Amino acid sequence: MSPIVRSATEPVEPTLGVGRISKSESEQADFVVVANRLPVQHSVSQGNDEWRPSPGGLVSALTAVLQNHDGLWIGWLGGSEHGEPPMDYEGIRLRAVAISPEEYADFYLGFSNATLWPLYHDAIRAPTFHRHWWHTYQDINMRYASAAAESVAEGGTVWIHDYQLQLVPNMLRTLRPDVRIGFFLHIPFPPSELFMQLPWRKEILTGLLGADLIGFQVPHMASNFSRIARRLLGATGTDSVLTYAGRTIRIGAFPITVDTAQITSLAADPKIRERAREIRRDLGNPEVVLLGVDRLDYTKGIQQRIRAINELYADGTLSGGTHVMVQVAVPSRESDAHYDLERHNLEQVVSEMNGDHGLVGSPVIHYLHQNLPFEELLALYLAADVMLVTPFRDGMNLVAKEYVACRTELTGKLVLSEFAGAASELRGAFMVNPHDLDGIKEAVCLALKAGPKEAKARMSRMRRKTMRRDVFDWAQSFLAALQQGNASRPSAGAESPDPST
């Protein structure tokens, strides 16, 4: 990135509730990340309290960028029972935004996850619209914007992330017109027929248009946004460049990916490979292991997937002892009653499947509702012959890419929803419409029947695409496009160029 020059500036006075106010110029950062959560989580190891980085490639990628630019990360801690997080962690500065339990209920469980989340995921479940949720969403977004305005140096760069903070770009633009602002949406952006349901649709669009660069996972999501902005706000331009309120805003597709080097290194670790063999032994050494790994969420299509597998057992295509399925459902939003119901319904489907087709000491599906260490997930990926990734809608889905990245021997088969963002890249997968039970069954059968030569060709094709760029390239390509300003215009119809090439 281009060097950014600091100079004295009077920081904006914050709204109430912002933690750890930094008012001196020396405490400001040239580069600031703003996300719903901080990149650390509390844990207890051998009786000692400690802070550890949150799991995931995104945290790793952004941490690396922040370390290189003496950056600062603004976010919510996630709970106050463990006190304040460290002010510095692994070379980056942290600033906590305070959110009360009541605000959490309205801002996060309410507007973010009962209004925006279902609406942006094809309204698989009907979104709920409450004015008091919206008002809290506005208040919390202003709290983040104020924290960013105080924390960024003059002429600095702020990168805002995801659907919880869609108002922050324009709020920050008003407070600090001197800074460069990027926004990336990690989940899908819906077509106009759905987005138009939102009572505060113009406010959301205006909020996003405060950014200089708005990034989406895939081109058609970028196009969805640009078309709606032109229709509702009178913005002018194309799918990739808009003019609004006297400013030029660029829109592009920046498909996120995984830390390929880390995954391939761990996949070659003898301990992890032995653990994969041990998993197969624990499963009874079946001929075929089918695997699903998902966050427990109704958008992931887990119940539909298991019903399809259940029917394959019922019609004799699959048989106990020969074919075994493992389903990992990572706990999610456990304070939300709707997710408790989702867990209950999923566990009922699993129980029925084992009741109908399992044997004593030999269930046909092994179900885990828990967080697993990444090394254990990789061992599961290596143990699986068929990976099932069948969300009803997903911005990207990195599980699919993790599975492909670890299959260094070009074995394994991927059944993938055509409604996952990853489907536009992983063309070697067995594609499926996740709403179609017969289609899921057919895709699984095709995967089972595919011989080693076909499987190798498909996996080789997917690995070439996946290994071309990693999550660090993704972060750098977005930031390079943001710094280039109007001289670079990422196309909504293609990936942005990799600055390293």
pLDDT, one tens digit per residue, over 141-157 is 999 999 999 999 999 99
DSSP summary character for residue 20: S
Q: What is the mean pLDDT of the chain?
A: 89
Those residues whose C-beta lies under 8 Å from the C-beta of residue 79, and which sit 6 or more positions away, are none
How many CB atoms are closer than 10 A to CB 375? 13
CA dihedral 8, 10, 16, 21 (to 10 degrees): 20
Cα 489 to Cα 497: distance, rounded to the nearest angstrom: 10
236-237 and 241-244 as β-strands: parallel, antiparallel, unpaired?
A: antiparallel
At residue 498, the pLDDT reads 38
Residue 429, both tokens: 């997968």
pTM for the structure as a whole = 0.89
315 burial type by CB count under 10 A (0-12 exposed, 13-18 middle, 19+ buried): exposed
Please state the rounded mean pLDDT for residues 66-75: 89
Given a contact cutoff of 8 angstroms between Cβ atoms, the answer to whether 378 and 415 are in contact is no
At residue 88, the pLDDT reads 79
Looking at the predicted structure, is the pLDDT value of residue 269 above 60? Answer: yes
At residue 89, the pLDDT reads 77
DSSP string for residues in 357-377: H-BTTB-SEEEE-S---HHHH
| Of 449, 20, 7, 481, the residue nearest 252 (C-alpha) | 481
Looking at the predicted structure, is the pLDDT value of residue 451 above 60? Answer: yes
Please state the rounded mean pLDDT for residues 334-362: 90
235 — pLDDT class (breaks 50, 70, 90):
very high
Of 48-52, 63-67, 258-262, 423-427, where does mean pLDDT reach its minimum? 48-52
| Of 346, 474, 493, 375, the residue nearest 55 (C-alpha) | 375
At residue 234, the pLDDT reads 97
At residue 335, the pLDDT reads 74
Those residues whose C-beta lies under 8 Å from the C-beta of residue 446, and which sit 6 or more positions away, are 430
Looking at the predicted structure, is the pLDDT value of residue 263 above 80? Answer: yes
Please state the rounded mean pLDDT for residues 6-21: 33
226 — pLDDT class (breaks 50, 70, 90):
very high
Given a contact cutoff of 8 angstroms between Cβ atoms, the answer to whether 17 and 98 are in contact is yes
Residue with tokens 């030029």: 248
DSSP summary character for residue 234: -
At residue 334, the pLDDT reads 72
Cα 458 to Cα 441: distance, rounded to the nearest angstrom: 19
Cα 227 to Cα 214: distance, rounded to the nearest angstrom: 14
At residue 17, the pLDDT reads 34
More confident residue, 65 or 266: 266
In order of start, what are the domains of the chain with their CATH numbers? 25-257+471-487 (3.40.50.2000), 260-466 (3.40.50.2000)
| pLDDT digit string, tens, across residues 277-310 | 999 999 999 999 999 999 999 999 999 999 999 9
Please state the rounded mean pLDDT for residues 21-34: 74
CA angle 330, 335, 338 (to 5 degrees): 80
At residue 40, the pLDDT reads 83
What values do phi and psi take at 42, rounded to 5?
A: -85, 145
Cα 451 to Cα 70: distance, rounded to the nearest angstrom: 51
At residue 77, the pLDDT reads 85
Please state the rounded mean pLDDT for residues 4-8: 28
Please state the rounded mean pLDDT for residues 107-119: 97
Looking at the predicted structure, is the pLDDT value of residue 396 above 80? Answer: yes
At residue 465, the pLDDT reads 96
At residue 268, the pLDDT reads 97
Those residues whose C-beta lies under 8 Å from the C-beta of residue 389, and which sit 6 or more positions away, are 292, 294, 397, 399, 400, 403, 414, 415, 416, 417, 420, 422
Please state the rounded mean pLDDT for residues 352-363: 92
